[in-house]
Amino acid sequence: MMLRVKSPILLPVLAAVLQLLCVTPVPAAQTVGPVTDDLGVIRIPKGAPVQIGAYWVLSGPDTALGIDGRRGAEIAIKDFGGKILGHPIKFNVEDDQCSAEGGQTAATKLAANPQTVIVLGGACSSATTPAAPILWQSGITNVCNACSAPALTDANRKPGYDGFARTIASDKDQGASDAKYVFEVMKATKLATVHDGSPYAQQLAAVMAANFTKLGGKVVAQEAIAPTDVDMHPLLSDIAAAKPDVLYMPIFVAAAAQILRQSKDTPGLDHTTLIGGGSLAAPDFIEAAGPAVVGFRIGYPDVSADSMGKGYPDFLEKYKTMFGEAPISGYNANSYDAAMMALKAITAVAKTDSAGNLFIGKKALRDAVFASKFDGLSGPINCDAYGQCASFKPAVMEFTSADPKTFKIGTNPKKIWP
């Protein structure tokens, strides 16, 4: 078994994250107006906006993930009327760059605003892993729509994540589903994996490999690259020497496109099938991969239109009307549900005094989010004690065209399993 680790260790970032993981908000019980809360109370003067924060990847090769998430939330806010309990909604969005450093910066900025009521995002577990504890240190609840790393909602997660919830399924389920497909449907017996050091890719690759082994398969190579690596030929030559039936690479757009293209001229990979993850469901990946994308498969939660909630067709029309195009990634409905969860929770706990001022208890809001239960656009929303609010629906998707303009979930890529 081979292991190549090229990813740089970001010591300052990791040190900060390690400190935050075990930090819970300093008790700041307050009575402000009609509200008493163990973590503090946000007072919003009459006529002032209710400020909702968010962070998504809004720059770089994985931008589609973040823009699509932002759009889903914006539609939810519009559907809610743009106001909450008579107050306008102000939506403050930061770019987390799909990185640990970006997540830290975005969360720190949002937490520094004492009027931040709740925060949506991110799209990338790389950003959310350090961001969520920073927010919770200030008593701010974080609801994510696309960050799927298993550790974020694990029963053994650290107290720094007590304020984190999500409307996307855990990759604990995605990895098991992908292993089942590869072993039972493709009849593969030898597997190689590649991750890029990110929480999403590293944890998903590990879960997939563990489940593949349990089913009776053999993991012949486990590799790691940096997201900025360009020459993948040494990596691919080593993998080819191990003769895997499948190369599983749940990584992001830039590196995945390099691997896919360069695999076509690497001797020994003629009979190896490459499979990616949900981070690659974007027109940007089609453009970056070129003709090599045709026939490429990704393991993905089933976000095809026929698997969504009954309101999804109307949502799609609103999306096209507001933004002049169809969805550019697959987690827009999850983001809509995350925003609706936040808005409903605020409505449930906020109190207004006789002067028209609004008061929101931070712990009460967190508890209301975790008590959420409704039929969402992405499917049933029902949170457990660790903030896992969505159930998993398996799918494998396959790209059918190298034209980025043809990107559409259900067509390019199309669902081929189950």
Say whether both 141 and 234 belong to one domain: no
Q: Nearest Cα to 13, choosing from 97, 101, 86?
A: 101
pLDDT of 124 > 90? The answer is yes
* 27 confidence band (pLDDT: 50, 70, 90): low
Q: What mean pLDDT is predicted for residues 2-15?
A: 41
How many percent of the chain have pLDDT more than 70?
A: 94
- pLDDT value at position 14? 45
In contact, 335 and 303? CB cutoff 8 Å: no
Average pLDDT over residues 279-284: 95
In angstroms, what CA-CA distances link 243 with 5, 185, 195?
20, 19, 18
Q: Is residue 10 part of a domain?
A: no
Counting the structural domains of the chain, the total is: 2
**Do both 278 and 336 map to the same domain?**
no
Selection from 191, 195, 197, 248 nearest residue 221 by Cα:
191
Task: Compute the average pLDDT of residues 66-83.
Answer: 98
Residues 375 and 232 in one domain: no
By the 8 A CB rule, do 301 and 168 touch?
A: yes
Check whether 29 has a pLDDT greater than 80: yes
* Domain extent at residue 276: 172-303+395-417
Please state the rounded mean pLDDT for residues 371-381: 96
Q: What is the CATH number of the domain that holds 103?
A: 3.40.50.2300
Q: What is the pTM of this model?
A: 0.92
Answer yes or no: is 3 within a domain.
Answer: no
Other CB atoms within a 10 A radius of the CB of residue 343 amount to: 21
- The verdict on 338 and 296 lying in the same domain is no
In this structure, are 407 and 384 located in the same domain? no
261 and 196 in a common domain: yes
- The model's confidence at residue 2, banded by pLDDT at 50, 70 and 90, is very low
Query: pLDDT per residue over 227-257, tens digit each?
Result: 999 999 999 999 999 999 999 999 999 999 9
**Mean pLDDT, all residues of the chain:** 93
18 found inside a domain? no
Same domain (yes/no): 271, 402:
yes
Q: Are residues 133 and 159 in the same domain?
A: yes
CA nearest to 76, candidates 273, 305, 333, 249: 333
Type and span of the H or E element at 76: helix 63-79
pLDDT of residue 338: 98
87 shares a domain with 228: no
Report pLDDT digits (tens) over 181-219: 999 999 999 999 999 999 999 999 999 999 999 999 999
Tens digits of residue pLDDT in 307-340: 888 899 999 999 999 999 999 999 999 999 999 9
Instruction: In whole angstroms, give the CA distance from residue 104 to residue 123.
Output: 14
pLDDT digits over 169-185, tens only?
Answer: 999 999 999 999 999 99
